[in-house]
Amino acid sequence: MGEPLLRVSNLQLYYSTLRGLVRSVDLVSFEVGNLETLAIVGESGSGKSSTAHAIIRILPRNVAVLNGSIVFDGVEINKLGEEEFRRRVRVGGISMVFQGAMNSLNPVMRVGDQVAEPLVVNKGMPKPEALKKAVEALRFVGLDESVSRRYPHELSGGMKQRVMIAMSLVLKPRLIILDEPTSALDVITQANIMNLLKRLKTELGFTYIFITHDLGLASELADKVAVMYAGKIVEYGSIEQVYTEPKHPYTRLLIESVPTLRLDREPVFIPGAPPDLIDPPKGCRFHPRCPYAIKGKCDTEEPPMFRDGGQAAACWLLEEGKT
Amino acid sequence: MSEKPLVLTENLEVYFPVRKLFGTAGFVRAVDNVDLEIFRGETLALVGESGSGKTTLGKALIALVKPTGGKIYFDGQDVTSMSETELKTLRRRFGVIFQDPYSSINPGYTVYRAVEEPLVVNKIGSKSERKERVFKALRDVKLDPPELFAYKYPHMLSGGQRQRVAIARALISNPEFIVADEPVTMLDASIRVELLLLLREIQQKYGSTMLYITHDMATAKYFSDRIAVMYAGKLVELGPTRKVLSNPSHPYTKALVEAIPDPDPRNRLVVRKVISGEPPSLVSPPAGCRFHPRCPAFMPGVCDYREPKMYKVNGGVRAACFLYGGMQA
């Protein structure tokens, strides 16, 4: 495949709060190849959204530490100046679709104008032409032309999410980050949006980073998956490998803890709660909840990623092939 | 499960007026003509999309919203004709758990005060008796030892712990009927099951009856005996949970079940068959069956013309669809 489209290495993102330093993203590394979909799966507070925010540099003011390298399309973008970053990344580089589509649209602006806006502002396209492109994009995501003249409050949740997706498409980005694009939607609407994303991927060849807390949903779209826990990637591999043969105890328990409709499997749960990222546990951050924790090892030394073919997991059980 | 239902509704209607500048412009038919029964000791799951009326129905059953028509019977008594004083006494027999543990607990109350509140309001027990009951309730929800949690404030607790406090508060008055409205939706995947197992354990221990409102069919499968499916204010299917979910009768239930993602990477990128469209407006719902504009089994001249009743399918399942009866009438 050659050079990946995006390579993130040792990304660190800490926030400063009154209580102390929150280690939201701690030495995270991954790659996304061209035309590939990477799912980042984790619970709330695991750092999956923060990772995305760091990539496209939409960060709150209380960032204390931002380290690591982000190479996009062969360029180190973490060191770029604001203007350079805007031209190279935000315009036609990386787009993002946010979770709460309901809150991401401007309520007093017609939908068509909003979708056209990036073209006018960033590309200096004349407005009528931009509007034409916007209508095209809306049609592409399954919305009627008349939608472009409506206001967001006239649309349903699913339609708004389609508008958001259309908006992310108009600049023809190389990479689209989808941050829980269907979490706020009902099941049927969710399935419709997932179908749309699948269609865009297979027909137009998009590269996605798909952020979700739902491994089942991830398995519908992703080629590769990175499982995050408490600011770290604990497992990484192809979706087939990770889903059918999870190597990290957390991944396995996470899969088993989600009740399934079609399989009959008494659901289990992971005792305890994710740790406080101000003072995360020593060693492996999952050890206090892990049924296989090795005393004197997991609670003192941080496990590195142990590789096995294309799959890797940060767990001491995998050292010297122990399972 | 005994024969006589603990909760029974007949033609239950809850309409909300839509106000204009002068007078009323119409009604939102949040719950329309619902016949439902809940048996003692069972858990009934109430599923549907947002806006289908499931929360309103749940609130009506525990007398938190007043029905605009029809009847509700609780333990044989007609709730709809009760006075406000009688309702107040009756509400002691109900417990309720809301979706959002971040807003359902007063941030200025300690855990102890939040859980004790129902006893204080209803003037139950002396101070020391109440303390005993609060501690017991905290132990029941595994906030153990209770002394450690009782004097904390909600902001010091995690989402899961807050929801446990909400459960303890709902259970402290030993309610016979508990309405749990999306009790785990706001929580993380890894702790949802833990709380649902806890609810089930407590329910079995005290023999209470539960209405589990959710949009998650998968958890309904594991944590309910029977299931009721709502669409646009109407009940469309009712029956034993596993039967309904493994072999849905109503086309809407079918669509709902089919829309749930398969956690199987082999089906990756397969475009799923999904019905299009959106649920209708509840102010002016479609004539006939409310699902007919989206229904793959739509029969012109029938479904858009008459409203289906609940017809018996088999194995205790009822469905509001002309595929199962009513064609000759």
Of residues B266 and B302, which shows the higher confidence score? B302
Non-local CB neighbours of A270 within 8 Å, separated by 6+ positions: A250, A253, A254, A257, A289, B190, B191, B194
pLDDT of residue B50: 83
Are the C-beta atoms of residues B262 and A262 closer than 8 Å to each other? yes
Query: What topology does CATH give the domain A6-93+173-320?
Result: Rossmann fold (3.40.50)
- What CA–CA distance (Å, rounded) separates A148 from A162? 12
CB neighbours of residue A111 within 10 Å: 26
> Predicted confidence band at A102 (pLDDT cuts at 50, 70, 90)?
low
What is the per-residue burial (b if ≥16 Cβ within 10 Å, else e) of A45-58?
bbbbbbbbbbbbbe
Residues B241-260 have pLDDT tens digits of 999 999 999 999 999 998 88
CB neighbours of residue A61 within 10 Å: 6
- Residue B1 confidence (pLDDT) above 50: no
Residues of chain A found within 8 Å of residue B158, distances taken between Cβ atoms: 273
- What CA–CA distance (Å, rounded) separates A24 from A242? 23
> Does residue A102 belong to the interface with chain B, where contact is any CB pair within 8 Å?
no
Please tell me whether the interface predicted TM-score (ipTM) of this complex is above 0.90. Answer: no
- Residue B2 confidence (pLDDT) above 60: no
- What CA–CA distance (Å, rounded) separates A239 from A218? 8
Mean pLDDT in residue range A91-115: 87
- Residue B329 confidence (pLDDT) above 50: no
Residues of chain B found within 8 Å of residue A215, distances taken between Cβ atoms: 263
Q: Name which of B259, B268, B278 is nearest A156 (Cβ-Cβ).
A: B278
Nearest-CA distance A191 → chain B (Å): 6
Q: In a mutagenesis test of the A interface, which of B54, B184, B190 is the best target, namely the one with the most A β-carbons within 10 Å?
A: B190
Residue in chain B lying closest to A275 (CA): B158
CB neighbours of residue A269 within 10 Å: 18
- What CA–CA distance (Å, rounded) separates B195 from B81? 36
pLDDT of residue B328: 53
> Predicted confidence band at B327 (pLDDT cuts at 50, 70, 90)?
low
What's the CA angle centered on B212, arms B310 and B250, to 5 degrees? 30
Restricting to A residues 222-251, those with a Cβ less than 8 Å away from any Cβ of B are 222, 239-240, 243-244
Query: What does pTM read for this prediction?
Result: 0.88
Least confident of A33-37, A182-186, A286-290, B257-261: A182-186
Please give the order of strands across the beta sheet that includes A311-313: A94-97, A175-179, A207-212, A37-41, A224-229, A232-238, A311-313, A306-308
For chain A, give every domain's residue range.
6-93+173-320
pLDDT of residue B289: 93
> Does residue A18 belong to the interface with chain B, where contact is any CB pair within 8 Å?
no
Are the beta carbons of A216 and B263 separated by less than 8 Å? Answer: yes
Residues B213-243 have pLDDT tens digits of 998 898 999 999 999 999 999 999 999 999 9
- The torsion angles phi and psi of B231, rounded to 5 degrees, stand at -140, 125
Which uninterrupted H or E stretch holds A177? strand A175-179
First to last CA, chain A: 31
Residue in chain A lying closest to B275 (CA): A188
- What CA–CA distance (Å, rounded) separates A85 from A78? 9
